[in-house]
Amino acid sequence: MHTEPNSDPASATTIEDAETIPGVSPDASQNASGSWGGHPINLRFSVPFLHTRFYLAVVAGRERRPEARRHQERAAHPVATFGNALFAIGVSTLIALMGLAALIASSAILEY
């Protein structure tokens, strides 16, 4: 059985793999490897949930993209999406529940 190589750039495991994918130029893959490595805050981890895994990446640093690129990426990746709203509601609920648990634990309600 013959299988075609996966042409999804997100599935590339190395920069060399990304260079061989149609539609991804070598310059783009080199820029991607150089620009993602220099953030002062770079937290990446995956979390198991039921029968799958989800990943969370938080990167922060000084903005170096030109204004035209920021506008282009904002149009391509809007902030106001259903998934982002669910995430914000979930995080807010988790923080509120943790605060409520701390308040209950420190109050006279649970006095031993």
Cα distance between residue 104 and residue 108, in whole Å: 8
Q: What is the per-residue pLDDT across 50-97, written as a single tens digit (0 to 9) for each? A: 999 999 888 899 988 899 999 999 999 999 999 999 999 999 999 999
Percentage of the chain surpassing pLDDT 70?
62
Residue 46: beta bridge partners? 55
Residue 35 scores a pLDDT above 90: no
Instruction: Report the 10 Å Cβ neighbour count for 29.
Output: 20
Residue 19 scores a pLDDT above 80: no
Residue closest to 37 by CA, chosen among 64, 10, 77: 64
- Residue spans per domain, the chain: 79-112
58-64 long-range CB contacts below 8 Å, 24 or more apart? 64/35
- DSSP line for 54-110: EEEEEEE----S-HHHHHHHHHHS-S--HHHHHHHHHHHHHHHHHHHHHHHHHSGGG
**Residue 106 pLDDT level (bands cut at 50, 70, 90):** confident
What are the two backbone dihedrals, phi and then psi, of residue 81, each rounded to the nearest 5 degrees?
Answer: -125, 165
